[in-house]
């Protein structure tokens, strides 16, 4: 399924909205529709790699 994600591609970079593909929910998962969201200091800490260095799957 297609989703919209806020993505920061570099440490300290800005968040950009991007369309991405996500697997459909498995039999033990649920799909929740989120209509609004905010950011907090932990989002900025993750973006700035203060919570570890992210790994990316291609």
d(CA 55, CA 11): 13
The full set of domain ranges for the chain reads: 2-47
H runs (alpha helix) in the chain: 41-47
pLDDT tens-digit map of 13-54 = 999 999 999 999 999 999 999 899 888 899 899 899 998 777
Angle 56-37-46 from CA coordinates, rounded to 5° = 35
Backbone φ and ψ of 6, nearest 5° = -90, 115
* pLDDT at site 12: 92
pTM of the model: 0.67
């Amino acid at each position: 399924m297609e989703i919209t994600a806020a993505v920061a591609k570099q440490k300290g970079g800005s968040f950009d909205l991007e369309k991405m593909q996500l697997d459909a929910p498995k039999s033990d998962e649920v799909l929740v529709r989120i209509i609004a969201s905010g950011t907090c200091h932990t989002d900025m800490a993750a973006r700035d790699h203060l919570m570890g260095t992210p790994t990316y799957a291609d």
